[in-house]
Amino acid sequence: MMDSQRNRREADSPAVFVMVIESHQHALEHIHAALRKNKLVGRPWEMVHFDAHPDLACGVFPAKACFVPRLDFDTPLSERPAPRMNLYDLLDATAAGIAEWILPLVLAADLKRIAWIKPSCSNQLPDGQYSFQVGAWIDANETTVASIETFMDLPDAAKVRVDWKTPYYYDDSSVRPSEQLLLSQQVDLSVVDMSKECSGQPLPKMGSPWMLDICLDYFGCRNPFLDELSSIDADYTLYLQDLVQIMTKKAIESKIYVQESQDIQNAFVNLVTTIHSNGNAGNASQDLERALGGTALATAAISELVAQLSNTKNRELLIQKTMEALGVLAIPHEDVSTELVDERLKLLDAYLQNLCQRPSIAPFLVTIARSSNDGFTPIDHVEQLQAQVLQHVHSFVCGCQCAHDWSNPQQITGESCHMKLVFDYGQWEGSTLYTA
């Protein structure tokens, strides 16, 4: 824990609001409110993002909604008639909304730099420093691109896209040439594995203004889709994890990622559906082996999966759930323990200590996402973990000796406390960001 005396804020320094939410996309509305309240609209700012996932996906919402988040748009939802929704509701309505809430801040709210602090189990983006463009993209056949001068000119069909050629964006077809991105904004991204950085490499420091965002799954992350499969057949799920890791590694290492990834996925789907139809793999095993380069490791992993899937009594259900989760089988999944949580809390402290070496570096907002209802933070860890993280954040933003009950924001005592805690989940859902 940090030295609370050294980190104590001056008496006249502004309060730091700490928002605790359940689903991560709910941070967006609070950030918009904080930017307005702190008169940061139109000013560049930065974000530190502790999370097991990058949350940098592009989304299916209209790009125009990023600029006018409370305006209703026609939705891409399958229900008929499809309801009109604003940006916040659209993020709530789609399963991927928890991964799509940051780029609207880049395109329309002057977020210029992001430091994604990730655990070692996260491999969606490679460690390093990157710059890329985020913009609105439309099919040139649908409208005259030359007529787009402000966001008011954007048609509802325009979508958020990027020019970064990396598997994370290729997987959902979000990569477009820079010259096709309208109203584009550059963002600088640092991808940092703290367990590696603390070995002696320099940590990225943030300028001012900046905000701190923490997802509790950073301290121990589950893949709920694999958990569901494991509840049906644990052995099959282990074999599937092994094979998915091999498939992912082979595709990423290819110089033609898009084609390689599609070929591997097609071969895998063919293998699973062949087993579903025939009760055995037939020649489909050899097809996937060839797609994976014919290595002994790949052959063994395929053989184990085929044997388990061919003999299980739950074959049909396992295949159904595997196909439904095909695009998310490779996201982080780890055993969560007290030791793991303690280790990552120390890494959080190490980063905050690094920031404390600079004066007046308090964030203008802190958001903490529980992510327990969606299964990424284990439900049996979330309450204790939330209390621990709040204690560490309090030491950073204030460090006073006031008495605190981290389970109830109304029970924090002490007029000198510079941390203003607001819960916006469960019984507190709908809380106002700036309370009296």
Which pLDDT belongs to residue 435?
Answer: 52
Higher-confidence residue of 28 and 358: namely 28
Backbone phi and psi for residue 162, each to the nearest 5 degrees, phi listed first: -130, 165
pLDDT tens-digit readout, 64-74: 999 999 999 98
Helix boundaries (H) for 281-314? 284-291, 296-311
Decide: 166 and 125 in contact? Cβ < 8 Å.
yes
Token pair for residue 400? 């006073």
Walk across the sheet containing 159-162 and list its strands.
159-162, 128-137, 182-193, 111-118, 45-50, 210-215, 366-369, 16-21, 419-424
Residue type, 290: R
Ramachandran sector of residue 280 (left: φ over 0; alpha: ψ -120 to 50; beta: rest): beta
User: Of 20-24, 87-91, 197-201, 325-329, where does mean pLDDT reach its minimum?
Assistant: 197-201
95 vs 112: which has the higher pLDDT: 112
pLDDT of residue 7: 45
Question: Per-residue pLDDT for 338 more than 50?
Answer: yes
Least confidently predicted of 41-45, 104-108, 406-410: 406-410
Which has more pLDDT, 15 or 234?
Answer: 234
Give yes or no for residue 426 having a pLDDT over 70: yes
Distance of CA 230 to the CA centre of its chain: 23
Please write the tens of the pLDDT for every residue from 200-258: 556 777 777 999 999 999 999 999 999 999 999 999 999 999 999 999 999 999 989 99
Phi, psi of 423 (to 5 degrees): -95, 135
The residues near 117 (Cβ < 8 Å, ≥ 6 apart) are 48, 49, 50, 51, 192, 194, 218, 347, 351
d(CA 297, CA 274): 22
**Section 329-342 average pLDDT:** 93
